[in-house]
Structures are given as C-alpha cells and as structure tokens.
Structure 1
Amino acid sequence: MPHRHEFEKELKELHNDLLKMGRIIEQSMDDTIVALKEQNIALAKEIIERDDVIDHMESTIEAQCLMIIARQQPIARDLRLITSVLKMITDLERIADHCADICEYIIKLADEPYKKQIEHIPIMADQVKKMVRETIEAYVEKDIEKAKTACAEDDIVDKHFDDIIAELQEMMKQNQAFIYQGTCFMFVAKYLERMADHATNIGEWVVFHVTGHHKGMN
C-alpha cells in the first residue's frame, strides 16, 4: 500500500504539471492574438521568450514520465496515462512553438500598417483555442465524448483556413502592394491550422488514455 500511495502521488504531480503547461499555452494563444491585432511588438517578443519556459516544462514532464516508468513499471491504465501525457506534452509544446512562429511574423510587420482589417483570423484563433481548452478539459474529466467533439471541430478550423486563404489571394491579385503582408497573414493562418491539428492529436490521446484505443474517433 505505501508503494501505491507514492505512485499515486507521482501521478498527481504529473497531472498538475500538465495542467499548468496547458494554462500557460492558453495564455500564449490569447496574447498572440492580442499582439497580432494591436501590432504589439513587446508582447510578441514576450511570447517568444515564454516559449523557452514551455520547452523546459516539456523536458521536465518528459523526464518525470520516464522516471515513473523506470521506477514503478506501470501497467494497463496507469501506463496508458503516462504514455498519453508524453504524447500530449509534445503536441502542447508544438502549439506554443506556433504561437512563437506567429509572433515572428508580427515583428516582421512591425513598421507596416495593416492593409486589411484583422477580423477572420482572430475568429479562427478563438476556435483553435476552444479546441485546446476542450481537449484539456476532456483529459481532466476523462470525457471521451468531449474529446471526440473537440476533434470534430478541426473541420470548422479547416473551413476558416480555406476562407481566409481565398480572401487573401483575391486581395493580393487586386493589390500587389498587399502581396508581402498577405503572404505573412497566410503563414499566420497556416500556423493556426496546425495548432488545431495538434489539438486533435491531444483529443485522440485522451481517448486512448480512457479506452485503450487510439484514433477511435468514429
């Protein structure tokens, strides 16, 4: 019993660290959209620096997982939990990377007033953040239906992406002076679309944690 108690304590710490990482990434997502809309270069640089903190968190949690596996030799559901956490932190870290990627484009456009109102990209970003939040909630609640719902919302993000790209392409055809800025916005939209893909991965790993079946989205 004492051995199991220690094991449960380690799993609880792992759980809390994952949630902390998730909260920081959600903040980075919020800050990224603020920085984009307001062309806030100081905030964009802060987000890029914060990515190093998130990278460190990923490394720390990964080390925790490997240490628990080596010491406790978990099986069945416990092993699925640890495996899922290992996979989820990779996707969370990639989402943070893409926040930093977007911020690099914000900085590139620092001295150039936007020639287009930033409206549809934040709507797309809100949907991506909703997916991330729902997958983390699904993990906490062990709710596979919520995880599946979040994964299905990737189609909504893809539709936003297609619409934004089509709009930007049309604007670039009509105004050559918009080509550079439009290309930057295309990259921003692409990074958001990739974030949604990583959120989908997280949802799939939640399903695996609970059921033992991966990609059980149907």
Structure 2
Amino acid sequence: MSAAHTVKAFDDELDQLRALIAEMGGLAETAITDSMRALVQRDSETAIRVVQEDARIDAIEAEVERAAVQLIALRAPMADDLREVIAALKIASVVERIGDYAKNIAKRVHVIEESPTIEPLSLLPEMGRIAGEMVHNVLDAFAARDAYKAVQVCERDRAVDDFYNSIFRTLLTHMMENTHNITPATHLLFVAKNLERIGDHATNVAEMVYFAATGHHIAERQRGDDTAYMAADRAGE
C-alpha cells in the first residue's frame, strides 16, 4: 500500500470519527433545547421523547469507541493526529454525559407540570440557552481544531455559574417563604444543577480541544462563590 493511500485512508477514518462526534453533539444540543422547552411548556410528550432518544446518543458513543480503537490499532497515529483521536474518544464520553443531563431534566417535567409555577422557572431557559450554545460552540471548535474558540467557551462558563448561584438563592428563598414551594423548587434546583454540569462538561471538552490543537493545557480556571455548588453536590446530582 502506498504512503499516499495510507494517509488518505487515515484522513477518511478521522473524518468519519469527527462526523460521529458531530452527530452526537447535534443530538445532545437538541436534547437540551427540547428538555427545556418541555419544562417551560409542561409538555410531557416532548419530555418522554427526549428520554427515549438518549439511547441513540449512547449508541453513537459506542461507535466512536470502536472507531477510535480501530484507528489507533491499525494506523498508529502520532503527535497531533494521536491527540485528536484520543480527544475524540474522551469527548464522546463527555457528550454522552451531557445527553444524560438533558434526559434528567426531561424526567422532571412530569413532576413540575403538576406543581404551581414559581418565579425562578423564568430564569432557567436563558441558562439552558447559554449551556446549549457552549455545547454547540465547543463541538464547532473541535471540528475546526480552533483553540481560540475553545478558550471562548471556557470563558462563557462563568455566566452559567452565575445563573446557577442566583437561581439557587432564589429557590431557597421561595422554599423558606412557603412550604408548598419545597417540592417544585427542589426539582427546579436539580434542573439548574444539571444545566450547570452541562456547562462544566462543555468547558472540559474545550480544554480537550485546546490540548488537541496546541499540545498545551489551558490554565486552571478560577471560581468564585462555591456555596451553592457545595450544597447541591451534597444533595446529589
């Protein structure tokens, strides 16, 4: 087999790997959008569909794993190419987890739709929009090997964190003022936590993209007030 043919075969297989990641990402983005719309509109049918379609994301992750392992075993990529293949393998796992968070949000719709509407629900769609954009942009950065765009995604994580802290405090106030708000507020808190985790995972992918593109690591991010994170983490994800 000629060297040119080998290189072309490797490039084709790498393109297929990128395409699988893009498909996964598209499904995860849709799951985030649909789960938030289902929550706001109290649409249980859409919520059920989000839960059911998560299986497709899981299936593609398995395809990525097989393709990446085969590519490494047969092509023995080095340097930049190896970093990209390893990044794709790790990113697939993270995107699958993002899909799980969207599914978790959808699972809470049937509980929320039976509860009275409380004001913090109006804050969640914007938080979800930013988290969804982070996922979209970081996958674009991976496809383009764009380190600068990856850094921009990391920078947006602060906005998601700020939303989470604001929503946490608002929900806590509602629970203290009226015991009837405890159940819906608790579920909305878990929704907010899932969105915050989606933002964190998008940032993790951005760090992988940056490393794959440059061979260097992004400096560790600084965080501000972690009170809400600690409290929610004790409650479980």
TM over 0.5: yes
Structure 1 partner of 2:127: 124
Distance 1:17 1:110 in 2: 35
The answer to which of 158-167 and 108-117 deviates more is: 108-117
1:204–1:217 Cα contact (<8 Å) kept: no
Distance 1:216 1:85 in 2: 21
Distance 1:162 1:216 in 2: 24
Structure 1 partner of 2:230: none
Structure 1 partner of 2:211: 208
Distance 1:135 1:163 in 2: 25
Structure 1 partner of 2:231: none
1:148 maps to 2:151? yes
Structure 1 partner of 2:99: 96
Distance 1:92 1:72 in 2: 25
1:191 maps to 2:198? no
1:88–1:202 Cα contact (<8 Å) kept: yes
SS in 2 for 1:173: helix
- In the TM superposition, residue 111 of structure 1 has moved relative to its aligned partner by 2.5
2:10–2:75 Cα contact (<8 Å) kept: yes
Distance 2:6 2:219 in 1: 33
Distance 2:120 2:15 in 1: 45
Distance 1:208 1:185 in 2: 35
1:108 maps to 2:111? yes
* Pairs within 5 Å for 1:1-218: 1-116=4-119, 118-216=121-219
2:124–2:192 Cα contact (<8 Å) kept: yes
2:120–2:170 Cα contact (<8 Å) kept: no
2:120–2:167 Cα contact (<8 Å) kept: no
- In the TM superposition, residue 131 of structure 1 has moved relative to its aligned partner by 1.0
- In the TM superposition, residue 71 of structure 1 has moved relative to its aligned partner by 0.7
TM-score normalized by the length of structure 2:
0.88
- In the TM superposition, residue 141 of structure 1 has moved relative to its aligned partner by 2.2
1:35–1:43 Cα contact (<8 Å) kept: yes
The root-mean-square deviation of aligned C-alpha atoms, in Å, is 1.4
TM-score normalized by the length of structure 1:
0.96
Q: Count residues in correspondence.
A: 218
SS in 1 for 2:118: coil
Amino acid at match of 2:81: D
Query: Which 4+ residue blocks in structure 1 deviate beyond 3 angstroms?
Result: 215-218
Q: Deviations over 1:73-120 (max 9, x none)?
A: 111111001001011111111110000111111122333342336210
- In the TM superposition, residue 142 of structure 1 has moved relative to its aligned partner by 1.9
- In the TM superposition, residue 206 of structure 1 has moved relative to its aligned partner by 0.6
- In the TM superposition, residue 138 of structure 1 has moved relative to its aligned partner by 1.3
Q: What are the ranges of 5 or more consecutive residues in structure 1 without an aligned counterpart?
A: none
